[in-house]
Structure 1
Amino acid sequence: MTKVAIYARYSCEKQNETSLDDQIRRCRELAQQNGLEVDEALIFTDAAISGQSHALHKREGYQAFQKAWQQGAFNVFIVDEPSRLTRDPVEQAQLMKLLENRRVRMLSCDGLDSHSQGWEIRFGLQSMIAQQEGRNLRHRVGRGMYGQLLRGYMIATPAYGYELKREFDDVGNRVGSHWQVNEAEAAVVREVYARREAGQSMHQIAAWLNTEAIPCSRMARKSDGGYWRPARVRNLLSNTIYRGTFTWHGSTTYAKRAAKRGIEVEQEVFARSELRLVSDQTWYRCNQKTHSRTGYGGGKHALAGLFSCGCCGGTLVLSAHRRAKSLYCANCTVGQSSEAGGTYQTQTIAVAGIETLLNHMLQCFLTPAFVEAFRTSLQLRLTGDTRQQLEDCRKRLVQLERTQARLSHMLTGISDEDPVLEQRYAETRDKVAACKTELAELESTQLQVDAQAIEAQLQVDPAVLLGTLLQADLAPERKRALLARLFPVLRFDGKRGRYCSRFYVEFAAGAALALASGTEQVDEGRQALRFRLQYTPRHRGDAAGNDKGTHWSVEVLSS
């Protein structure tokens, strides 16, 4: 008894849903022409799913079709054309191998019959054409998406915090899509950045989102709605759209696919200032490992992850002793214990001494004379013309594009390969891409000096930060975030003897004024000093045998 099945599929959401009905209708007509009757229970379909290998796990209809084939549920199947089955070359080869035993017959509406003479050649040619058509389609889709970005439209599904707005012409045809801010979700995004900037770990932020029952940024696979995970918080924080730029080929999914195919990823930045939710400074602080060297952040102690090792560059970690906590370099300790050879720094520094050092550094950098000198340099920024930087970048881009066009014309006009000319063209192309990125960065930010922020910073006294950092009820992550902004570099350079430790420190005075005034940081300059931390044991005293009363002392080194 002949049992007949049908499989139909269309590729993307932009195709008409009636495509499935049209394919099934043509398959039924072919069945009638061959005197066959289709079993209604053996009609398998997939809607809006690609035929490439990366979408195979989504094709439930095709998987059910394969399972029925393995179980012998039919001995004839009909498709509109072989490319409806798959566009993957490996899958097509497997189908051909299955059809060669002639237990199951394939008919297609374009005239292919697996029981006819020489069908293998025709099937192979059609498969090659289908594969090339898939490549052409991928190229056309990418070209169209890039063109939409150049015209000011947006592509892809809107990120969390935005919603889609389609634009139509006078006759109702869709010409493009825009993203617009969803204020309810945008408030959540700003709060996430504020919490991360305040030092909270991604685990803490995810816990807060779940406690507040805030819907996930993506549609959950299960009916319970899913929940926020630290990795999802990290993805949200790293999205450049929240600082007003969209990165072409910036997704990790595209990067992984390109790496598998050996394709070099060429990214390009498009300015979308109307979609900005946070400032550039906030975005970079939340994505750089400033107040925590780990990707997810955290730590129950304020000093966790702040200091680096002057020997290997690793992060100093806290010991597990409760009474006398200390910092040490785990990398150097492991390296020395494994006898790998080389120079290692395995000394420890007591946490009590580090706290004394930090307080002394703050008092050293926030002296009235130092603050006054910095305010004088800040005052000069009000009279500077920063627009020149933007104009210079634009002129440089025009010159580079002219050079690239000239080199491209020269390469087109020669018949033989010229390695030197090709290398120069590649270098110029990379310079053009870098210059475009720089220009987009400059245009997406307010290049002009924020006069109000400067005025506020000129009036505030940064010494108020001392009182804030000394508060007993200040959360460890908050204190760690403040210290990381004030001291971008805290490096332990080793000991000179048992009780003498040396440190290299960089202080950001602009961050101090910004934190004290509650404004954005204007000056990015840093001041560097070296310090010596000295410990005096309790049993030691002066010449008369009296206890000195202090056990830690800090001294500024000249070099």
Structure 2
Amino acid sequence: MTRVAIYARYSSDQQQEASIEDQFRLCKERAEAEGWEIAGQYKDHATSGASMLRHGIQRLIEDALAGKFEIVVAEALDRLSRDQADIASFYKRMRFADVQIITLSEGDISDLHIGLKGTMNALFLKDLADKTRRGLRGRVEAGKSGGGNSYGYDVVRKVASDGTPQRGERTINDTEANIVRRIFSEYAAGRSPRAIAKDLNAEKIAGPSGSRGNKGWGPSTIHGNRQRGTGILNNELYIGRLVWNRLRYIKDPETGKRVSRLNPEKDWIIQDAPALRIIDDDLWQAVKARQDSQKADWNTSGFWDRKRPRYLFSGLMSCGVCGGGIVNLNGVRVGCANARNKGTCDNRRTMRRDLLEATIFDALAHHLMEPELFALFCEEYTRHMNKLRIEATSQLAGYQAELSKVTRNTDRLIDAITDGVPASQVKERMLNLERRKAELQRLIDETEEPPALLHPNMAEHYRKEVDRLHDALADEDHRHEAVAIIRDLVDKIVLHPQPEGSKTTMAIDLHGDLAGILSLAAETKKPPRKGGDFRESTKLVAGAGFEPATFRL
């Protein structure tokens, strides 16, 4: 009996949970009518189809590649994905796994569906985004909120006479408004955001996130980014000015996550909302004057050097107790930022930075590529790369075989015309063949070459390269490049407090970055950096479940 998997999804919290069950019911009816065995049901709740970072769809792909079913059934193609690239990738994976895709709306999915429906779904998303923005802009120009909420205000929920919800109304929350005034007053009086945040946390005052613990008030919650209008001190709604469209959000194709970009000021929509004013003009201007006095001069000599990580492992260290960042407390020692800035972590142990760097550097050179571990990894890596080679080669061979077939059919049509068959009778067929031929040639040109396998001497070469980088740190002409490469070898560093009387104040868990390690280990004249071909191939390995070694130092 043919085994099938059923997939269902609904997009947002505004839709009903019953939507999933309705989709399952319709797909089950189709499976029963065809005599199929249901091997599994996969679902994603309140998740956009613009991203493949969904638990249900990822489990479906994993099980398809494991051969657990022969057919995927969904209500419509847009339930699987609305993104052109994602649906094309999903289709290719299912085809490689010999899994057929059938939807109740479109039937048996083919290349034509992927091209046409993928384009239609992408246009639908763009049209939906445009309509949403148009509606939000109209709401803002009417003096209402364009979405979300700011600390100091409550959402007002109203229903019109026709039963439709009225959105965008806000009212001042007096308790939170007093906290906002306190923050502005203390900052204008000379207190730092860090000191203000520590006091608020010590008094157990809930922050904008509504939680207390480690997610309470932080310095960045208060000072934010003035240019982007983030942070308590930069929110112009506190002076009765509603600013909308300052930022736009686009999806990172690598991670599928949204990132913000600053829009030109001419595109901002600004409306007065005097009823929402919390801060008076004098206090606002006093805060702006202090911000101006502390603003960095971008033209000052050495400014851009200070934008680089100040120390070797800055930004890569985290606390093993609260998960917050480990920062430089002074020129000598490092410690937990939450313990120092917020008072929300009990890890008050510190460690000398030079000892930390020396310990980690020794581990990079002598532990992350131990011969026994590297030999085992080479075996697994080679097995996985061979699998990818087979997949890439079979896909490429399929395209080439179809291209040869299309070329032969085209030649036959030309011979038929030469033998006297009217061109009008074969015109449409000829055009279709030419279009498919061009598409196949494009697919062949775009198909990537299989990734390279590992050389058995990579471990020894890696250790030599690390030693060379250590020497480069003392050379001012090459220090910045050496630091960047060394940081590529580290995924994260977690510091755990040690009991009193231990030889060291904190234990170090070093997590090596797989792609960086293998890039450095590749014996080339210049180790490939992030974005290089070799690094891209190692991402496939990390994504398949291979993890670099982790050491407690």
> TM-score range, shorter-chain basis?
0.3 to 0.5
Q: So what's the TM-score if we normalise by structure 1?
A: 0.47
Which structure would you say has the larger Rg? 1
Q: Which has the higher contact order (CA 8 A, sep 6+)?
A: 1
Q: So what's the TM-score if we normalise by structure 2?
A: 0.48
